[in-house]
Amino acid sequence: MIRVISLCFYYGIFRFLPTSSFPYLGPTSMRLRYLCAKNIFAYCGSNVNVERGAWFGSGRGVKIGANSGIGINAVVPNNIIIGSNVMMGPNVEILVRDHLFNRVDIPMIQQGFTASKQCIIEDDVWIGMNVLILPGRTIKTGSIIAAGTILTKDFPEYAVVGGNPGKFLKSRKS
């Protein structure tokens, strides 16, 4: 019951409160969204920041580690795992499934969807603004996903990835 009430408060009111950086009201808004997230998510670590406008469906399967955030207007799926110390920029969108399109005898709109694939974001990851993450991706520890990237495949730990489609730019390890 607390979960349902928290969902109602989040989507009805708290989702529209100012961002965490807004003077005076920001920290209070951030705290209210965090209190809801603790009651909604499957796991919610300490010091988690769910920003203004973030969408996470029912949140039932969301697991998020300590000191991590879901960015302003971000859209994350129900079955995501987000590690600790993850920074997520505004307008990040994470997809869980695609349209089926293999048959040509019926319209694509009538073919349905692929099975859902879980996205995993490991610890110490920075995801820039306007990133699109396709279904089933794992973002490895220490990675940076540059703003505007469309992430279509997985990369090794400590990778800096950018572009459309996302390409390995360099390693953070020297």
As a whole number of angstroms, the distance between CA 74 and CA 67 comes to 17
As a whole number of angstroms, the distance between CA 67 and CA 12 comes to 25
Q: Is the dihedral of CA 65, 88, 120, 110 positive or negative?
A: positive
The residue among 132, 143, 137 whose CA lies nearest residue 172 is 143
- Catalytic site residue 99? yes
As a whole number of angstroms, the distance between CA 124 and CA 109 comes to 39
Question: Which of 99, 103, 153, 170 is flagged as catalytic?
Answer: 99
Q: How many residues does the chain have?
A: 174
Q: Which pair of structure tokens corresponds to residue 143?
A: 């990675």
The residue among 49, 96, 64, 91 whose CA lies nearest residue 77 is 96
Residue 105: helix, strand or coil by DSSP? coil
Which residues does the annotation mark as catalytic?
99
